Amino acid sequence: MDTKPLLSAIESELQRQISRLDASRTEPFHEMLTYHMGWTGEGAGPEATGKRIRPLLVLLCTSSCGADWESVLPAAAAVELVHNFSLVHDDIQDNSDKRRGRPTTWVKWGMPMAINVGDALFVMSNQAIIELKEKHPPETVVKAAEILHNTCLDLTRGQFMDMSFEERKDLAVEDYWPMVSGKTAALLSACCHIGALLGGGDEAKQDAYRAFGHYLGLTFQVQDDILGIWGDEALTGKSAASDLVEGKNSLPVLAGLGANGKFAARWKQGPIRADEVQELARVLAGEGGYETATAAAKQMTDLALMSLREADPQGEAGDALFALTDKLLKRSQ
C-alpha cells in the first residue's frame, strides 16, 4: 500500500483543524501554530513537519481492520495534535531552543505565547476527536475520546516523572518503564487502539492493536536511548553521546547506575563534559549499559511483532503496517 495519499490526507486534515484560528483577529496566533507544524516560516517543509507516524498508525490500524480510513481522519489529526501540544510545552520545560532544526516556538514568540500555542493545539485535538461524530455513532466517539484523554493523563504523569527524576541520582532500571510508558508508549498505544476501535475490531482485536502500539513505543524509546549515546551522528542528526551531557535518565544510564561501577561514580559527581563523553560511553558499555539496553530493545521488538501478528491486520494496510513497523524497529541500522 502506498502511504503517500494517506500522509497527504493527514496534512490536509491537520490544516483544516488548525484553520479554526484563521480569522483576522487571531491571524498572528494561527501563524504560530502553522510555524510549529512545519508549514510556514523559515525552514518550512517536509523536514520541519516530522514524520506523522502517529496519525499514519491510526489510519493503517483502521484500514487493516477492514474499514475506510478516510472516515477516521479527525482521529488521526487528534493524536498528532496531542503529540505537537506536548512538544511545544516540552520545549519550554526543557529549555530547548531547536526542534527539527528550527528555533522552537518559545524562542520565536516568548514563553507566555508558547504556553498558549500548546494549549490551543491541545484544545484542537479535543475538537478533532469529537468531530468523529459526523461519521461514527456517538457511543464510539465517547469511547475514542475516553482513550485519548486517559492517554493524555499518562503523558502528564510521564512528564512529571521525567522532570522529577532530573534531580535524582538514586534511580534504577525499574523507574524507567513507568516513565517511558507515559512519555512515549501511551500515545502510540492509543493510536493503534483508537484505530482498531474505529475500524470495528472487537475487544480482543483492540487489545492486540493496543499492545502492539505500546511495545512499538517502548522499542522506539529504548532505541532512541541507545542512539543518544552510541549512535552515528550522521544518521541521527544529533551529536552522539549528547544524552550523557544532558544528563538524560536513559535506560543505559540507569543500567550503569545499577552496576555501581566507574560509570555510576562519575555520573553521581555531576554534569558530564563534552570532552569526556567518548570515554564515558566506552566505560558504560563495558559495565553492561549497552547490553542491557539492546537486550531490552530486542525483547520489546519481539513483543511488538507478536502483538501485531495477534492483531492479524488485513489487506494492503496490514502489509503496510508490517512494513512501517519493520522500518521503525530497524532505524538504528
Taking the complex as a whole, the smallest distance from the CB of residue 230 to a second copy amounts, in Å, to 28
Is residue 177 within the footprint of a second copy (CB under 8 A)?
no
What's the alpha-carbon Rg for the chain, to the nearest Å? Answer: 20
Q: Which is nearer to a second copy, 101 or 112 (CB)?
A: 112
* Cα 39 from Cα 50, distance rounded (Å): 11
Q: Which residue bears the cell 482485536?
A: 205
**Looking at the chain, which runs of residues are DSSP E strands?**
98-99, 102-103
Taking the complex as a whole, the smallest distance from the CB of residue 68 to a second copy amounts, in Å, to 21
Taking the complex as a whole, the smallest distance from the CB of residue 251 to a second copy amounts, in Å, to 18
Give backbone dihedrals phi and psi of 103, rounded to 5 degrees, phi first.
-55, 140
Neighbour count for residue 211 (Cβ, 10 Å): 20
126 to 165: interface string for a second copy, x by CB under 8 A: xx--x--x---xxx-xx--xx--xx-xx-xxx-xxx-xx-
Is residue 326 within the footprint of a second copy (CB under 8 A)?
no
Q: Which is nearer to a second copy, 46 or 137 (CB)?
A: 137
Buried b (16+ CB within 10 A) or exposed e, 289-327: bbebbbebbeebbebbbebbeebebeeebbebbeebbee
Is residue 93 within the footprint of a second copy (CB under 8 A)?
yes
Q: Which is nearer to a second copy, 3 or 126 (CB)?
A: 126
SS3 314: coil
Q: Which is nearer to a second copy, 89 or 214 (CB)?
A: 89
Q: Which is nearer to a second copy, 114 or 321 (CB)?
A: 114
Locate 80 and state its grid cell. Answer: 498528532
Q: Which is nearer to a second copy, 115 or 259 (CB)?
A: 115
Is residue 53 within the footprint of a second copy (CB under 8 A)?
no
Nearest to 116 by CA among 98, 132, 92: 92
SS3 99: strand
Is residue 96 within the footprint of a second copy (CB under 8 A)?
no
Is residue 28 within the footprint of a second copy (CB under 8 A)?
yes
Is residue 19 within the footprint of a second copy (CB under 8 A)?
no
Number of residues assigned to the chain: 333
Residue from 67, 92, 277, 321 touching a second copy (CB under 8 A): that is: 92
Contact 192, 304 (CB under 8 A): no
* Strand-pair partners of 99: 102
Binding segment toward a second copy, per CB under 8 A, in 89-97, 233-241, 255-263, 266-274: 89-97
* Cα 102 from Cα 50, distance rounded (Å): 12
Residue from 44, 53, 107, 113 touching a second copy (CB under 8 A): that is: 113
Which residues sit at the interface with a second copy, rule CB under 8 A?
20-21, 25-26, 28-29, 89, 92-94, 111-113, 115-116, 118-120, 122-124, 126-127, 130, 133, 137-139, 141-142, 145-146, 149-150, 152-153, 155-157, 159-161, 163-164, 178
